[in-house]
């Protein structure tokens, strides 16, 4: 990852984010470019447009999965991004990856994470 940026292609995922109310774009990136696991406040650049969002890097332990995934939830954007190249700027790490006992607890934490990310952007536009 060069400085705080990485790029990749949007690929199909398992659609769990959408089921939880946090539709995500799964990103296939070059090996070695991945930020450390956790939740981040990010800016996303697609076709000369900038969006704000929340990035997840991890293995989805709450869903008993083990493969590393990089996925971003874009605020105020719901277009089909499959096969598009996007660039992500990591602005701030919000928290470490956590295993939750229930999907309900995971969703509740995602809501809190989103509020924290939005707070970041009120202080760092």
Residues 20 and 107 sit within 8 Å (Cβ to Cβ): yes
pTM: predicted TM-score of the whole model, two decimal places: 0.88
pLDDT per position as a tens digit, 90-122: 999 999 999 999 989 999 999 999 999 999 998
Lowest mean pLDDT across 5-9, 30-34, 111-115: 30-34
- The domains of the chain are located at 5-123
Rounded distance between C-alpha atoms, residue 68 and residue 57, angstroms:
7
Three-state secondary structure call for residue 7: strand
- The Cα 22–Cα 111 span in angstroms is 9
Alpha helices in the chain (DSSP H): 16-19, 103-123
Q: Which CATH architecture has domain 5-123?
A: Beta Barrel (2.40)
Give per-residue pLDDT as tens, 59-93: 887 877 778 889 999 998 777 788 889 999 999 99
């Amino acid at each position: 990852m060069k400085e705080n940026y990485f790029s990749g292609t949007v690929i199909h995922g398992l659609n769990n984010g959408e089921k939880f109310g946090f539709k995500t774009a799964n990103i296939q990136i070059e090996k070695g470019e991945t930020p450390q696991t956790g939740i981040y406040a990010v800016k996303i650049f697609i076709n000369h447009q900038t969006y704000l969002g929340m990035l997840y890097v991890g293995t989805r332990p709450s869903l008993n999965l083990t493969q590393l995934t990089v996925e971003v939830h874009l605020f105020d954007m719901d277009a089909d991004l499959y096969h598009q190249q996007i660039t992500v700027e990591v602005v701030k790490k919000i928290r470490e990856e956590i295993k939750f006992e229930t999907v309900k607890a995971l969703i509740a934490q995602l809501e809190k994470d989103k509020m924290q990310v939005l707070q970041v952007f009120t202080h760092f536009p």
